[in-house]
Structure 1
Amino acid sequence: MPNLRPLAIALGLGLASLVITDASAAPKKKAARTPAASAQCTDFYDATNAGWLKANPVPQTGATTALGQLADRTRLQQRELLDAAMKSPQGNTQKLLGDFWASGLDEAAVEADGSNPIAPLLTRINAIKKAKDVPASIAALHQVGIPVAFNFAPDVDLKALDRHIGYFMQGGMGLPDPAFYTRTDADTVALMGRYRNYVKQILALTGTPAAKLDAEAQSVIALETELARNAQSLAGINNPFNNYAPISTKDLNSRYKNLQLDAFLKVQGVNDDLVSLADPNLFKALDGMVTRIKPDQWKAYLRWRVGDAMAPYLSKAYRDAEFEFRGRVIRGETLAPARWEQVLNAINVAAGPMVGREYAARHLSAEDRRQAAWIVDKVREVQIDAVKNSSWLSAEAKSEAQAKLAALKIEIGTPLRDLDYTVQPMGRGSFGGNMLIASTWRHREEMKRIGKGNADRRWDVLPQQPSLAYDIAQNRLIVTAAALQGPVFNAKADAADKFGSFGALVAHELNRAVDAKGALVDAKGELRSWWTPADKTAWTLLGSRVAAQYSAYDFPGVKGAKVNGALTQEENLADIAGVELAWAAYLAQEPKAKPAQQQGFFRAWAALWPQQLSPNEAAQRLTGDIRAPGRWRTNGPLSNLPAFGATFTCKPGQPMQRVDNDQIKIWR
């Protein structure tokens, strides 16, 4: 869900049965035979998902997955919601969304609008005369949701997880990796050539005369290259601790006088006394660039950044230029999305929380929310008991883990704290104009996160995106409204189905509170490691066994390849733990369930993971996916659970029932 953290999915092959014969038996005697394992005991993934796999053949490109189909369905639900809001809105928020939607679908109006939506921004940029005008223009663009020169965004204060602070970080570059600007290999040189052409296209559309295009494009890339030379690598920037260096806002101006960062914060509506600025060398360089770089070069750069940021929402010339470079070259897309999908993506970027509010009201019933909360509580109760009875966790770690699970916050459907939906009237006249209105509103709401007491406002996903996620900073389980439908949550199904799908995914996430990463944040929300060395050793040994189990599995769709057990180890541990805990929670509620009823638990788990991958997609996932293929997300955890073998009468040693000594036990 940006950022839906997608639930992983996987490829399935044809059903196969296994017959083992004694090839060394003497002639003229009947060979000793082990009875053939049933389909369920051979490959439960195939046995359960045969119908789905037949109905969804391997695609030529990309992937077809059960959870991907759920995501597609939620997008259609959003489209229907916006259609209804356009035709007969109920309330002010729907009126805003309906007008926004209508303005985007009217392609003729968008074409006629041309560059008009960004004309006021370009006029302001073109009015820059002196160096002192540059910081005010930078601040004004950030205010409408177009970050230039650097990034500034709220995130959790790593020393006080109950608050957000503003993070000043590197940014302002048009390419996703700073290394692109300085590498000299042939592929990068070719990429930079295409990038230069794209910059020229946008500059031409935003007012650069033809005679100056080459020079201005070169000046833009030179400015971005200077930013890149002072930037961290992608690996560095992705480490949150590398970005954390709190500084009093009072000290900003004395260090960076030209950037006028105190005025910048006021324009963003930020009045906090603390920010994080972890790249003093970068901001010192930027401070010098404000006065050293001529105003005309800044003007070209800022016009380019505005045109690039807004290109997907403007006329066809902008959209085509953006798609040819960003779509084809950067994102690897072959076809542009349908117009309605483009508009939906845009609205979710600029006004996603508005859509989420209406989506939950339309698609999430109070009863579904109640049932989901009840299952979460039952799983949590079982996990607390499992921690108490753990054979590998130390006494002090058990105490902290129980306290942390007891303190867990649960948010189902939508964030507990709503936003302020006071937005300027949008109307149907200008889609690009509406993007800027909505983007300004969302930026304003983002800035309101900053300060004490606002930490729990943050969701990394939108309610209309299917997701279950554990928020380690807030010790919070997030279940979006869109996730509460099949195959994740079947409202009319029995308890076995609900615990086998939704319950197991909940347990997968709750395990995060007390695993190796969860053990870095205690029950009070403070950053400290509360595991003993013995706890860490025990977890490492469990992880090694899990990695070894999964490394023995063939990777479906890639001949001769095996699953990368080390890469997928963390998710596989959570899957095994999730199935264990959800099964225990189900049995606690249905202790008298017959095997025929119990089978539904395991079928619901398997129904989460069917997928068909194209050969290229399978090859990419082999080396890059931190989750195992869906065949093994299904079969791997179940083969470690004796209850599965008992339910389907599988014998130890058959593919779906590991012998006792080989079974991995995390919380049982």
Structure 2
Amino acid sequence: MKKNPTYLGLATALALAGCTSTKPATTATTATVTPVAAAAPAPKGVGLDMADIDRAVSPCDDFFQFSGGNWLRNNPVPSYASSWGPRNQLGDRTQALLRRILEDAAANRSAAPGSNAQKVGDFYAAAMDTVAIDRAGLTPIKPELDRLAAVRDAAGLRAEIAHLQDIGASVFFQAGVDVDEKNTTQYAVQMGQGGLTMPNRDFYFKEDARTAKVKTAYRTYMAQLFGLLGEAPAVAQRNAATVERIETRLAKASRTPVELRDPQANYNKLTLAAAQQRYPALDPKGLLAGMQLGKAQEVIIGQPAFFDEVNAVLKTEPLADLKTYLRWHVMRVVANALPTPYAEAAFHYNQALTGAKQQAARWKRMQSATDQTLGEAFGQLYVDQAFSPEAKAKALEMVANIKASMAEHIKTNTWMSAPTKTEALKKLNALRVKIGYPDVWKDYSALKISRESYLKNILAARAWESRREAAHFGQPIDRNEWGMTPPTINAYYNPALNEIVFPAGYLQPPFFDPKADDAINYGAIGGVMGHEMTHGFDDQGRQYDSEGNLRDWWTPADAAEFTKRAAVVGKQYSAFSPLDSVHVNGQLTMGENLADFAGLTVVYGALEKQLQQRYGNGPRPNYDGFTPEQRYFLSWAQLRRTNIRPEALRQQIATDPHSPGQYRTIGPIMNMPQFQQAFGCPEGSKMTRSAVDRAVIW
């Protein structure tokens, strides 16, 4: 079970609140802001669009609107999207290049057999051939359906469950191989809750109108797919109800998104013999043997009580109903690779979740599928055209400066004891940084890709990835692996490997621009770097030591003080309400909010050091009428401006550990005296918290 990267980039953040600056915040009247808003004549800078700023709004009243109000008005969400922001715009530009790469690869019929160019070209060509996909009908998936139909007993069902894990249908649960979080020198077999169609357990039990709409779409989607398989409407409805009944049982036993954020509670290692005794109907021994993991003698169970219910479901539900549940998930995970009616049914369900008005163009969807399936083969073709050694060197320099600032913040921390500081600095010094693309690329030589069938390619790639992952078991940790592909416009922190990773796709304007002044780059990609770096010290990341082991290295007093200070952040965010009666979940978003807090504070310190080195005590240039400090905060804010559909916003708040963009913008700065000083905000202004209410961690 290769986990998704634990903390994801711009959509991610670790932040510790406030700042450790001892400089008093400048007090001023609102009038002192006016010269900034008026933007006196000054050299034009690179990286900020002055036309986006809403000068009718005071930065001290609403910095989200001030920094990008005009942009928000002029950039509505496109019909094919659920939200829209700078990352989407960069995504469009990146996709244009990726499209050219893919179309060139697809047109190249003379690529060497087995080469990355051949596999990428054939995969994309097959994915774009909708005539062939529609003509093939269910033929490519028929072997899977026939295999499932042939199941006659519990043993056959368990074998099918193992097989479906290999082709990406995580029925009942997720299982696989990943780093052992309490012994990061080895891999472990891991099993965690899963098996649901809707985004998480809460959708099965909430009764508000929004959730009811999603649940209706879910039921309609299931009935449609069963109907497309040839079942009469009454039978299709009955089968949909069967799936919902089983999934509701699983949902009831599932942990909440907040509970899943506790790494200690979600680490439960059992001997295989003990797991076999506790879950006999599941038969972990036979399951792992079927997944080519028969040598395992231990298994980490993420949520033991959930697997108690899985065991009970397998023991008490009729075999025919269990097969119906499996058949649904077989179809669900390949619907977008099937003929048009299946893909349209999947989209209509997604509409209820996101509010998107129409599907994205097929080439965009198939570009994404190629990236997901052959990410590093595709990524090599991308990096050759889009990422320079100079960009990598500049990014590494920035990371080094931010790391130095983080070390200083740890050393000067006023509430952390010396033993905890020593461990924190040890962890920071051990942090590994990956920039651009892997040093060692995945070897796809054993994966066969052709133009015969898009769906066959999907199934082959999933099975290949499962075998590749299973082969890790018993081997040394592969520290060259990446959890994101090179074109990805995102970043992450991996606590078990204590590493931060920045794909090449992220390291381009507007997030990173070698032509821009330091303030812009530090506020943009620097903010992300600080975010990811400080994830190692958020409420989750701080539980892992310098070697990535899940180990408590904090003194009890320091841990209690951290928890008390973090609770202030949680309270602040839980008070934010972007929609009527809908509040941000301060516990679910705690790690990302802490990362934004700490990252913005730490990177500000790195920028000040950079400016001191560059200009000494001399004057610092103002661009577009803004000081470097003001440009830093504007850069941070302009990259988090987002328009989002109400449906998508509600889903984000229910499922996403990241706060909405407007609160990622203003949440940290409201606690920063540096912001108050930069914009001359008076005490009591909306963007300024009092010293009593301010969250301060680093």
- The one-letter code sitting in structure 1 at the alignment partner of 2:94 is T
Task: Say whether residues 1:613 and 2:613 are aligned partners.
Answer: no
- The one-letter code sitting in structure 1 at the alignment partner of 2:621 is A
Task: Say whether residues 1:632 and 2:677 are aligned partners.
Answer: no
Give, in angstroms, the shift of residue 114 of structure 1.
0.7
Task: Say whether residues 1:66 and 2:86 are aligned partners.
Answer: yes
What SS is found at the alignment partner of 1:609? helix
Distance in 2 (alpha carbons) for counterparts of 1:210 and 1:400: 63
Distance in 2 (alpha carbons) for counterparts of 1:342 and 1:380: 37
Give, in angstroms, the shift of residue 174 of structure 1.
3.2
Distance in 1 (alpha carbons) for counterparts of 2:171 and 2:548: 34
Give, in angstroms, the shift of residue 118 of structure 1.
0.5
Matches within 5 A, 1:369-388: 369-388=392-411
Task: Say whether residues 1:203 and 2:226 are aligned partners.
Answer: yes
Other-structure match for 2:621 = 596
Q: Which moved more, 1:355-364 or 1:34-43?
A: 34-43
Q: Deviations over 1:280-325 (max 9, x none)?
A: 565455456556655444443332221122111100121122222x
Other-structure match for 2:490 = 467
Matches within 5 A, 1:20-419: 37-39=35-37, 43=59, 52=71, 56=75, 63-88=83-108, 92-178=115-201, 195-206=218-229, 208=231, 212-228=235-251, 230-233=253-256, 235-237=258-260, 239-270=262-293, 271-279=295-303, 282-283=306-307, 286-287=310-311, 290=314, 293-324=317-348, 326-416=349-439, 418-419=441-442
Q: Deviations over 1:416-442 (max 9, x none)?
A: 554331243321121111111122222
Q: Which moved more, 1:586-595 or 1:421-430?
A: 586-595
Q: Compared with structure 1, are the counterparts of its residues 469 and 597 closer, same or farther at alpha carbon in structure 2 (3 Å cutoff)?
A: farther
Give, in angstroms, the shift of residue 353 of structure 1.
4.0
Report the aligned-residue RMSD.
4.5
Distance in 2 (alpha carbons) for counterparts of 1:292 and 1:537: 45
What SS is found at the alignment partner of 1:465? coil
What SS is found at the alignment partner of 1:161? coil
- Give the length in aligned residue pairs: 642
- The one-letter code sitting in structure 2 at the alignment partner of 1:613 is N
- The one-letter code sitting in structure 1 at the alignment partner of 2:269 is P
The structure showing larger relative contact order (alpha-carbon pairs under 8 Å, at least 6 residues apart) is 2
Check the 8 A contact 1:161/1:474 in 2, yes or no.
Answer: yes
Q: Compared with structure 1, are the counterparts of its residues 405 and 591 closer, same or farther at alpha carbon in structure 2 (3 Å cutoff)?
A: farther
Q: Which moved more, 1:432-441 or 1:497-506?
A: 497-506
Q: Compared with structure 1, are the counterparts of its residues 596 and 634 closer, same or farther at alpha carbon in structure 2 (3 Å cutoff)?
A: farther
Give, in angstroms, the shift of residue 468 of structure 1.
3.1
Q: Deviations over 1:426-485 (max 9, x none)?
A: 211211111111222222333345456336466443332222333233221111111100
Q: Deviations over 1:392-418 (max 9, x none)?
A: 432222222221111111111234554
Check the 8 A contact 2:373/2:461 in 1, yes or no.
Answer: yes
Q: Deviations over 1:360-383 (max 9, x none)?
A: 343222221122112211221232
Check the 8 A contact 1:382/1:584 in 2, yes or no.
Answer: no
Distance in 2 (alpha carbons) for counterparts of 1:229 and 1:511: 34
Distance in 2 (alpha carbons) for counterparts of 1:223 and 1:572: 39
- The one-letter code sitting in structure 1 at the alignment partner of 2:59 is D
Q: Compared with structure 1, are the counterparts of its residues 518 and 577 closer, same or farther at alpha carbon in structure 2 (3 Å cutoff)?
A: farther
Check the 8 A contact 1:463/1:481 in 2, yes or no.
Answer: yes
Unpaired segments of 5 or more residues in structure 1? Answer: 10-17, 22-32
Check the 8 A contact 2:354/2:647 in 1, yes or no.
Answer: no
Q: Deviations over 1:306-345 (max 9, x none)?
A: 1122111100121122222x21334443322221223233
Distance in 2 (alpha carbons) for counterparts of 1:196 and 1:620: 20
Q: Compared with structure 1, are the counterparts of its residues 327 and 39 closer, same or farther at alpha carbon in structure 2 (3 Å cutoff)?
A: same
Q: Compared with structure 1, are the counterparts of its residues 148 and 549 closer, same or farther at alpha carbon in structure 2 (3 Å cutoff)?
A: closer
- The one-letter code sitting in structure 2 at the alignment partner of 1:5 is L
Other-structure match for 1:7 = 10
- The one-letter code sitting in structure 2 at the alignment partner of 1:595 is R
Q: Which moved more, 1:458-467 or 1:370-379?
A: 458-467
Distance in 2 (alpha carbons) for counterparts of 1:476 and 1:379: 15
Other-structure match for 1:581 = 605
Check the 8 A contact 1:521/1:528 in 2, yes or no.
Answer: yes
- The one-letter code sitting in structure 2 at the alignment partner of 1:168 is M
Distance in 2 (alpha carbons) for counterparts of 1:549 and 1:281: 33
Q: Compared with structure 1, are the counterparts of its residues 578 and 508 closer, same or farther at alpha carbon in structure 2 (3 Å cutoff)?
A: farther
Check the 8 A contact 2:191/2:300 in 1, yes or no.
Answer: yes
Q: Deviations over 1:225-268 (max 9, x none)?
A: 45445544555455444432212235444554554433432332
Give, in angstroms, the shift of residue 108 of structure 1.
0.9
Q: Which moved more, 1:334-343 or 1:226-235?
A: 226-235
Distance in 1 (alpha carbons) for counterparts of 2:694 and 2:211: 46
Check the 8 A contact 1:165/1:275 in 2, yes or no.
Answer: yes
Check the 8 A contact 2:213/2:352 in 1, yes or no.
Answer: no
What SS is found at the alignment partner of 1:243? coil
Distance in 2 (alpha carbons) for counterparts of 1:318 and 1:206: 10
Check the 8 A contact 2:189/2:299 in 1, yes or no.
Answer: yes
Distance in 1 (alpha carbons) for counterparts of 2:327 and 2:91: 36
Give, in angstroms, the shift of residue 652 of structure 1.
7.5
Distance in 1 (alpha carbons) for counterparts of 2:33 and 2:459: 68
- The one-letter code sitting in structure 1 at the alignment partner of 2:266 is N
What SS is found at the alignment partner of 2:190? strand
Distance in 2 (alpha carbons) for counterparts of 1:562 and 1:112: 48
What SS is found at the alignment partner of 2:374? helix
- The one-letter code sitting in structure 2 at the alignment partner of 1:327 is N
Q: Which is greater in Rg?
A: 1
Check the 8 A contact 2:530/2:600 in 1, yes or no.
Answer: no
Give, in angstroms, the shift of residue 168 of structure 1.
2.1
Check the 8 A contact 1:467/1:479 in 2, yes or no.
Answer: yes
Q: Deviations over 1:146-175 (max 9, x none)?
A: 222332133443322344422223333434
TM-score by length of 1: 0.80
Give, in angstroms, the shift of residue 53 of structure 1.
5.8
What SS is found at the alignment partner of 1:426? coil
What SS is found at the alignment partner of 1:432? helix
Q: Compared with structure 1, are the counterparts of its residues 367 and 665 closer, same or farther at alpha carbon in structure 2 (3 Å cutoff)?
A: farther
Unpaired segments of 5 or more residues in structure 2? Answer: 13-26, 40-57
Distance in 1 (alpha carbons) for counterparts of 2:126 and 2:651: 39
Distance in 2 (alpha carbons) for counterparts of 1:48 and 1:189: 37
Distance in 1 (alpha carbons) for counterparts of 2:289 and 2:209: 45
Give, in angstroms, the shift of residue 508 of structure 1.
3.1
Q: Compared with structure 1, are the counterparts of its residues 67 and 400 closer, same or farther at alpha carbon in structure 2 (3 Å cutoff)?
A: same
Q: Compared with structure 1, are the counterparts of its residues 20 and 231 closer, same or farther at alpha carbon in structure 2 (3 Å cutoff)?
A: closer
